[in-house]
Amino acid sequence: MLPLLDRRGMLGLAGASFAASLALGAAPPVIRLARFSAEVTVPIGHALMGGGIAPAKNVVDPLFAQGIVLLGGALPIVLVTVDWCEIRNDAYFRWREVLAKAAGTTTDRVLVTSIHQHDAPVTDLAAEKLLRAAGPGASVCDLEFHEKAVQRVGRALSASLRNARRITHVGTGEAEVREVGSNRRYFERNGKVNHGRTSATRDAYARSQPVGTIDSRLKTLSFWDGDKPLAALNVYAIHPMSYYGKGGVSSDFVGMARRRRQTDLPSVAVMYGSGASGNVVAGKYNDGDPANRARLSERMYKAMCEAWTNTRRRPISQINFCSIPYRLEPRTEPEFSTKALEAAVKDAKRPFDRCLAAMGLSWLERVEAGKLLDLPVLDFGIAQLVILPGEAYVEYQLAAQKMRPDSFVVCLGYGECATGYVPTEQAVREKDGNLRDWCWVAPGAEKVLLATIRKGLVR
């Protein structure tokens, strides 16, 4: 396979020097990996889920940003997964700016993804500034805390570069996750479609209905120096919530499983990322009983162990990178107009409605400024890693895998989260009730996103 070109026409990581080495008959460049982690737990009183639930009252378990830096050949590439609900608009740009500076690379080569626990923050700096200007009573995030957290992660990244290790192999493994994921969509007794199965579903009939469209496989992408594992990224498409909304800050059941695997593999940087799971929840297997958090964690843990056992290591022949810019149109309904959103920021009775309006305005300002979304693709030859926007529905992940049936395609959701939900056209036609407010993109997103994914994956 030929090296991929990024949108600026530069060869991806190791691409130029790798190709030149082959032409001269020399050994390919050494590729190295640095590992970093930093705590990003919010302070007590901080808004959770963008102000939609009770603010932080206590810390059940700390939140972390965990990442790797790939070095060698061209500019470094950073991948970081964050135990936050969402990172949006200028907050997303800020993460990329700070980590790019720390790594000595460009912002497009910084891949940021949230894990999307709900007892965790949503960050949108422009939205918070709009709320502060409108008066007290509503908050999305703390601006000062956000900057301190990002800088802390940047320092951890910078320090990690001194201990970068050679990687010679990439590992791929997968396993079935049993009795965790289910689609929001199910059929009511009268045959009508309902998209209302939630993370914690108390309706016994809704829990009794079939799983629906999910990706049942957990995938583990790992990096090795010979037979020594250095880092492992576990990815599964699920809304990672068991119970939430009481103010108990937590990384929830996926964080519990990750910590347990880290104990199993103390010399390995064990990471977790959520796949494209805007419409995938634990609701078929979870009624909100707090005891289910441990049960769901146990099932995730078993899948992580099995995927590790199933891992196959193969030598790295290339690591290439591309980033595809694209645009998703904002919604055009009257309630999503600038005038309506400005009024809601000032006058909406519910604080959360003010927060939603501020996030909507932040997205509109970003689109009007011409700041495009981008879809990053890391190509390891035997595997590809794709970062999808916001709460992309699982169908996009399944479609990406079908585009490269010969390969190991890993999709991470919750990249640039300014979009909110990115539904399929079927969900729009069926009037998916989840799209009433936490969705800032107009119908038609499916065609654009699928074309962008294909452009990044199929060469």
Query: Is residue 5 assigned to a domain?
Result: no
For residue 302, the SS3 value is helix
- Give a yes or no: residue 232 inside a domain: yes
Which residues form the domain of 176?
28-457
Q: Quick count: other Cβ atoms within 10 Å of Cβ 444? A: 12
Do 415 and 396 form a contact (C-beta atoms < 8 A)? no
6-62 pLDDT tens trace: 333 333 444 433 343 444 455 667 999 999 999 999 999 999 999 999 999 999 999
Task: Answer positive or negative: Cα dihedral of 32, 262, 235, 312.
Answer: positive
Contact 87, 115 (CB under 8 A): no
Q: What SS3 class is residue 407?
A: coil
Residue appearing with tokens 């639930």: 53
Asked whether residue 330 is domain-assigned, the answer is yes
* DSSP H/E element including 330: none
Residues 92 and 416: beta-carbon distance below 8 Å: yes
The answer to whether position 18 is within a domain reads no
In a domain, 220, yes or no: yes
Q: Domains in the chain: how many in total? A: 1
Nearest 5°: the CA angle 320, 397, 382 is 35
| Cβ contacts of 380 within 8 Å, gap of 6 or more | 170, 221, 316, 318, 319
163-217 pLDDT per residue, tens: 999 999 999 999 999 999 999 999 999 999 999 999 999 999 999 999 999 999 9
Q: Give the pLDDT confidence of 284-294 residue by residue, as tens digits.
A: 999 999 999 99
328 in any annotated domain: yes
Over its length of 459 residues, how does the chain's per-residue pLDDT go in tens digits?
A: 222 333 333 334 444 333 434 444 556 679 999 999 999 999 999 999 999 999 999 999 999 999 999 999 789 999 999 999 999 999 999 999 999 999 999 999 999 999 999 999 999 999 999 999 999 999 999 999 999 999 999 999 999 999 999 999 999 999 999 999 999 999 999 999 999 999 999 999 999 999 999 999 999 999 999 999 999 999 999 999 999 999 999 999 999 999 999 999 999 999 999 999 999 999 999 999 999 999 999 999 999 999 999 999 999 977 999 999 999 999 999 999 999 999 999 999 999 999 999 999 999 999 999 999 999 999 999 999 999 999 999 999 999 999 999 999 999 999 999 999 999 999 999 999 999 999 999 999 999 999 999 999 997
21 falls within a domain: no
Other beta carbons less than 10 A from residue 266's beta carbon: 7
